[in-house]
A = this chain, B = another copy of it.
């Protein structure tokens, strides 16, 4: 049996929106990678470029949302089809926020590039960025393929990002206490690391959404929550005495 013209056109339009989401995801991935590269190579100009490119991400969100709202308006889908369209709105919103975090990393890079380098902090942040970039790439593939197993695996992988973040947080607090001249750089590096950690959280949220979209159920097992930096304190006396 031939699908009716209405149905074929709905799937076609939805496919077009999902292709745009993949394209938007690709732009955001590049933004993450370039922001991290600007940090490691202390390249303020590249940082500026990443900042400027964020407007492209914002434009793509507006374009995708417009197409999704048109699709709702013209086809008035129900049940699973409706859920599929609503999920495109959520994915585009997540990608826009991730783009914002990459932009913020790039903004702070212009200050960090002027300060003394702080140990291996930039390299650690780049490792975190690479992890989140890989997670983002795979989560979008899993989204289009409705691949619940990969989505669940990505959700667990965020713990690695959190662990790098925790270790870096402690290290930077210690470095600040040892020598106040490092404070400005460390402060911005802490905020940069937090931005990358938040990217991981957003990808995790996308993975949970895929689980829900495919199965109709919220993922049951409590995700391992690795970020404990809100609770970390380092004792200045310990630092002074090398404890």
Contacts and interface: CB of A to CB of B under 8 A. Distances in A.
Interface stretch (A8-16, A132-140, A227-235): A227-235
A79 interface: yes
A69 B83 contact: yes
Interface in A98-114: 104, 107-108, 110-111, 114
Contacts of A187: 173, 176, 187, 190
> Could you say how many copies of this chain the assembly holds?
2
A72 B78 CA distance: 8
B236 A115 contact: no
A235 B180 CA distance: 10
Nearest to A229: B191
A214 interface: no
A131 interface: no
A177 interface: yes
A86 B232 CA distance: 40
B83 A86 contact: no
Nearest to A231: B111
Nearest to A169: B187
Given A69-B86, A176-B180, A111 B76 contact: no
Given A69-B86, A230-B108, A236 B180 contact: yes
Interface of A: 69, 72-74, 76, 78-79, 82-83, 86, 89-90, 93, 104, 107-108, 110-111, 114-115, 173, 176-178, 180-181, 183-184, 187-188, 190-191, 194, 230-237, 239
20 contacts: A69-B82, A69-B86, A73-B78, A73-B82, A74-B78, A89-B89, A90-B93, A104-B230, A108-B231, A110-B231, A115-B233, A173-B184, A176-B180, A180-B180, A183-B234, A184-B233, A184-B234, A184-B235, A184-B236, A187-B187
